[in-house]
Amino acid sequence: MASLSAPSGASPTESGLIAGFAAYLLWGFLPLLFGLLRDVGAVTIVADRTLCSLVFVGLLLLALKGYPEVRQVLGDRRTVARMAVAAVLLAANWLIFVFAVEAGHVLEASFGYFINPLANVALGILFLGERLNRIQLAAIVVALVAVLIQAVGIGSVPYIALSLAFSFAAYGFLRKTVKASAAAGLFIETLVLAPVALGYILYTFWRDGGIGPLGDPYTAFLLLLTGPGTAVPLLLFAIAVKRLKLSTVGMLQYLSPSIAFILAITVFGEELNLTRAISFGLIWLSLIIYSSDGLLRHRARSLP
C-alpha cells in the first residue's frame, strides 16, 4: 500500500510533529462542526458520519492502492471479529461525543479525554497484568479524586466523561491487537457499521416523509465534512505514531481536550465553576505526574 510521504526537506521527526499537531488540532476543533449540526440529532450525525467516512476512506484506499491489505485483513475471521467489536466501541464513542456537544456538555467531554490515558492504564492493569510504581499510583489516586470532585460539581456521576474515556480506551486496546493500517482499519470498521447506518438513514426518510436534513444544501455539506473530519486526523495520527517517540505522542494527546476545554467556555458558553476548576486542575496535575514519570524512565533507558 502506498503511503503519505513526508514534506520535502523535512526529517521524519519534523514531519511526525507536524502530523501529530495537525491531528490533535483537528480533533480539538471537531466540536465546532458538531455544534453547527446541533439540530440534526446525534444518531443521524453518527450514521451520516459512518457512511461519509466509508466513502472518503474508500476513495483514499483506491488512490493509494490499499485494497490488497483490506482483502488480507478480511480473510482472517478472528481479526474481523475483533474489528467488529472495535467498530461498535468506536460508534458508541462517536455517539456519546456528539450527544455531549448537542446537550451542552463539552466540558465534561473534554474531561473524559483527559481521563482517557489513565483509562488506558486501568485496562493495562486489568488485562495485561501491568503494575504501577508509587509515582504512577499517586497519579491515579489524584485522578480518582478529580473524578469524585467532578461528580460533586455536576451533581451526579460524570457518565459522559467516563463513557468517552473507557470506550475509546477499549477501542484502542482492541485496535492494537489487529495488524491493519489506519486507513484499512477505519474502512473495515465503517464497513461493518454501514448496514446499520444506512438502515437508520432510510428509516428517517420513511419516518419524515423525505430526505430530512439532507434536503438543506448547507446541512448536507456539513454532514459530508464529517467523513474527512473523521478520517484525516486518524491518518495524520498514524503518521505521527510511526515517526515520533511514544512519550512525544503522549504529550501531544492533551492538546485536543485542552482546545475542547477552551471552546466549551468561550464558544459554547458553558460555566466553569469552582468545583469543576478544581477537578480540572487535579486531572492536569495527575497527567503531569504520570507523564513526567514516563518521560524520566524513557530517558533513563536511553542512557548508555
**pLDDT tens track, the chain, 304 positions:** 545 544 555 677 778 888 888 988 999 999 999 999 988 989 999 999 999 999 999 999 999 888 999 999 999 889 899 999 999 999 999 999 999 999 999 989 988 888 887 787 777 777 777 777 888 788 888 888 888 887 777 677 789 999 998 998 888 888 877 888 888 988 999 999 999 999 999 999 998 888 888 889 999 999 999 999 988 998 888 788 777 765 567 667 788 888 998 999 999 998 888 888 888 888 888 878 877 776 677 676 665 5
Residue 247's pLDDT is what? 56
Rounded-to-integer distance, Cα 212 and Cα 208, Å: 7
Question: What distance separates the 2 farthest-apart alpha carbons in the chain?
Answer: 70
pLDDT of residue 288: 83
Q: State how far the Cα of 87 lies from the Cα of 174, in Å rounded to an integer.
A: 10
- pLDDT for the residue 132: 75
Sign of CA dihedral 25, 235, 101, 140: negative
Nearest Cα neighbor of 143 from 295, 294, 289, 254 is 289
What is the rounded distance in angstroms from the CA atom of residue 234 to the CA atom of residue 180? Answer: 13
The pLDDT of residue 91: 94
The pLDDT assigned to 148 comes to: 84
pLDDT of residue 45: 94
For residue 123, count CB atoms less than 10 angstroms from its CB and return exposed for 0-12, middle for 13-18, buried for 19 or more: middle
- Write the DSSP symbol of residue 213: G
Per-residue pLDDT at 221: 95
All three cell numbers of 248, joined, read 512525544
Residue type, 123: L
Cell, residue 150: 467532578
Cβ count within 10 A of residue 14? 13
The number of residues making up the chain comes to: 304
Contact predicate 167/93, CB 8 Å: yes
